[in-house]
């Protein structure tokens, strides 16, 4: 049987295929499906089925019949095979360094050190080899999807403009607000007298709040909203997350003001704007140059570092950085411009480069440092703070539009993969269905 620890539940989504390895000591070996030149084994299908059933049971949900689960799981395994094989044929590989970083990030999410995380995995009956194998496949599948599906999605400037000009886009782009609510319930079939009486009470409460009464205390005493006992607090939200009536009512409010009573099907609402977050996003940029040298068959990693150290010594003594970069740098993209990379944006460079750039003062030349591209030295020529609110907002809008289309395109793309593949499905009772849509 599978363990039912909380840690098992946290890992269930990632480790379905290994988590049930102990569930059956003697599985009947055989082929469940042929996928091009690969196969899905009956043992894989059985182990995945047992793991899924265990996860469903731990959630307290009644699982569907095995036949339905088996069909869904086999479809998932076929999709995984197609994507993994596509990535491997394209030469995509996940390095040990990437796996190690993924394990570090998983451990951090669980509030553990990497050592504690790996020990917990082993305590749960999963070997480190199994963990790394499944992580490698998960990362590779994600990378395949990002490469093949994202290239099918084209989000242009006009798409972003249209979204930001829409009602949804205007609300989405609005600042975050911290809002409180008092709800006075009122039936949609209420008489005119009931509406007027409730509206009068709402106006009276509004006047009290505007005169200094504690809005949260008024909400606890008078509101029928679900968050009345929390002082009516709705918390920090974007206007897009609020009902359109609420968003329209607070758009012109200054922090501390209470909007005029508004009517909805639920009753009469009073809204207080506590705070509005400044949407201005100021980013520190660095104007930086660098020189890159790459190890090769003739020059070892250590020799490359020493050669770069010698170039740095020349620069410290007064040599012109741009001239040295044009002569020696192996970064084709920047060498001709004297190593200049322009004004930086967060996330533009690899982490090692960004870390060294951040700790190097203006006018200084960094010591040699290593990245996946080779050995670098850099010089920060200037720094500035720039408001990128509009650029960041447009970027976030583009990413949101892309994410909305990703799932739809993913399903279409997976179906196309199946249509182009040879797939033969063998049922467990000996019946088989085969098709060749290539």
| Predicted confidence (pLDDT) per residue in 320-369, tens digit | 999 999 999 999 889 999 999 999 887 788 889 999 999 999 999 999 99
Check residue 2 and give left, alpha or beta (phi > 0: left; psi -120 to 50: alpha): beta
**Can you list the domains of the chain with their CATH numbers?**
6-150 (1.10.4030.10), 175-276 (3.10.50.40), 282-385 (3.10.50.40)
Cα separation of 337 and 46, whole Å?
Answer: 60
Question: What is the reported pLDDT for 432?
Answer: 41
Per-residue pLDDT, 428:
53
User: Do 432 and 425 touch, CB atoms closer than 8 A?
Assistant: yes
Residue 6's pLDDT is 34
User: What's the farthest any 2 CA atoms get from each other in the chain?
Assistant: 93
List of residues 6+ apart from 73 with CB closer than 8 A: 45, 48, 49, 52
Please tell me the predicted confidence (pLDDT) of residue 240: 67
Going edge to edge, which strands form the sheet with 422-426?
Answer: 38-41, 31-35, 422-426, 432-436
pLDDT of residue 357: 95
* pLDDT tens column, 258-268: 999 999 888 99
Within 13 Å and on the Cβ side, how many CA atoms surround 335? 11
Q: Along the 438 residues of the chain, how does pLDDT read in single tens digits?
A: 233 333 443 444 444 444 343 333 334 468 888 888 888 888 888 888 888 888 888 877 777 888 888 888 898 899 999 999 999 998 888 888 888 888 988 888 888 998 999 998 888 888 889 889 889 999 999 889 988 988 888 898 999 899 888 877 876 777 788 999 999 998 878 899 999 999 999 999 999 999 999 999 999 999 988 888 889 998 888 776 788 788 888 888 899 999 999 998 889 999 999 998 866 667 888 999 999 999 888 889 899 999 999 999 999 999 999 999 999 999 988 999 999 999 988 778 888 999 999 999 999 999 999 988 899 999 999 998 877 777 777 887 888 888 888 888 888 999 899 899 898 888 555 434 433 444
Q: What is the CA radius of gyration of the chain?
A: 30
Cβ neighbours for 411, distance < 8 A, ≥ 6 positions apart: none
Two structure tokens written together for 50 = 């047992």
Q: How many CB atoms lie within 10 A of CB 129?
A: 9
Which is nearest to 40 in space by CA: 16, 73, 87?
73
Question: 312 and 293 in contact (C-beta within 8 Å)?
Answer: no
Residue matched to tokens 């040599």: 319
Q: How far is CA 294 from CA 321, 329, 337, in A?
A: 18, 9, 19
Q: Is 384 exposed, middle or buried (0-12, 13-18, 19+ CB in 10 A)?
A: exposed
**pTM, rounded to two decimals:** 0.50
Angle between helix 215-222 and 192-210 (nearest 10): 150
Token pair, residue 333, equals 């993209």
């Amino acid at each position: 049987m599978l363990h039912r620890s909380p840690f098992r539940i946290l890992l269930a989504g990632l480790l379905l295929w290994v988590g049930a390895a102990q569930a059956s000591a003697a599985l009947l070996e055989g082929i469940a499906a042929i996928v091009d030149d690969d196969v899905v084994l009956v043992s894989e299908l059985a182990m995945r089925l047992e793991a899924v059933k265990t996860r469903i049971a731990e959630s307290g949900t009644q699982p569907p019949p095995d036949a339905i689960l088996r069909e869904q799981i086999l479809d998932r395994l076929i999709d995984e095979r197609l994507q993994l094989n596509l990535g491997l044929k394209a030469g995509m590989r996940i390095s040990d360094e990437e796996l190690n970083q993924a394990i570090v990030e998983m451990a951090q999410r669980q509030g553990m050190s990497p050592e504690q995380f790996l020990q917990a995995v082993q305590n749960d009956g999963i070997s480190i080899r199994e963990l790394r194998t499944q992580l490698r496949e998960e990362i590779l599948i994600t990378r395949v999807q990002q490469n093949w599906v994202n290239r099918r999605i084209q989000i242009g400037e006009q798409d972003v403009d249209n979204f930001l000009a829409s009602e949804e886009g205007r609300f989405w782009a609005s600042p975050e607000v911290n809002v409180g609510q008092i709800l006075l319930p009122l039936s949609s079939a209420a008489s005119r007298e009931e509406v007027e009486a409730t509206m009068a009470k709402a106006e009276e409460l509004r006047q009290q709040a505007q005169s200094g009464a504690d809005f949260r205390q008024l909400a606890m005493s008078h509101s029928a909203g679900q968050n009345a006992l929390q002082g009516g607090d709705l918390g920090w939200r974007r206007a897009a997350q609020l009902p359109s009536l609420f968003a329209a009512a607070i758009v012109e409010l200054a922090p501390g003001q209470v909007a005029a009573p508004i009517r909805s099907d639920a009753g009469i609402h009073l809204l207080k704007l506590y705070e509005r977050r400044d949407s201005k996003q100021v980013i520190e940029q660095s104007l930086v140059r660098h020189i890159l040298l790459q190890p090769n068959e003739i020059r070892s990693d250590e020799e490359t570092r020493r050669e770069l150290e010698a170039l740095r010594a020349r620069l410290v003594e007064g040599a012109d950085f741009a001239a040295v970069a044009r002569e020696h740098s192996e970064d084709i993209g920047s060498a001709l411009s004297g190593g200049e990379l322009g004004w930086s944006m967060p996330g533009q460079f690899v982490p090692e480069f960004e870390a060294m750039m951040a700790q190097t003062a203006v006018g200084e030349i960094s010591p040699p440092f290593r990245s996946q591209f080779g050995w670098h030295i850099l010089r920060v020529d200037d720094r500035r703070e720039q408001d990128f609110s509009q650029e960041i907002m447009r970027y976030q809008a583009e990413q949101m539009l892309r994410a909305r289309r990703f799932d739809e395109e993913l399903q279409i793309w997976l179906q196309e993969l199946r249509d182009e593949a040879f797939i033969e499905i063998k049922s467990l009772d000996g019946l088989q269905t085969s098709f060749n849509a290539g």
